[in-house]
Amino acid sequence: MNQGFIPTIDNGTCLTLIVDGCTDNLSINYNPAANVDNGLCITEILGCTDSQYLEFNASANTDDNTCATLLIFGCTDNGLGFQCTWNN
């Protein structure tokens, strides 16, 4: 207790606020306020994040605009004599 006086020398009694979080500034969930790493940093993985596209990457957590080919399910004539109709 300083009895109204303002300390001028740090005696080590100050408490440091602990902020848990990701301390890796290369991670997508980096927390600049964190001073204790919580082990939950997430590495950025670029790729197509839309499962409706051929280029979909299930591991990607950041979309990089590489989704190009929309998947459309249906009959595709591969030249083997199969006859396609509107519902197959």
Give CA–CA dist 64/66, Å, rounded: 6
pLDDT tens digits, 35-80: 999 999 999 999 999 999 999 999 999 999 999 999 998 877 666 6
| pTM across the whole model | 0.60
Please state, in angstroms and rounded to a whole number, the distance separating the CA atoms of residues 11 and 32. Answer: 27
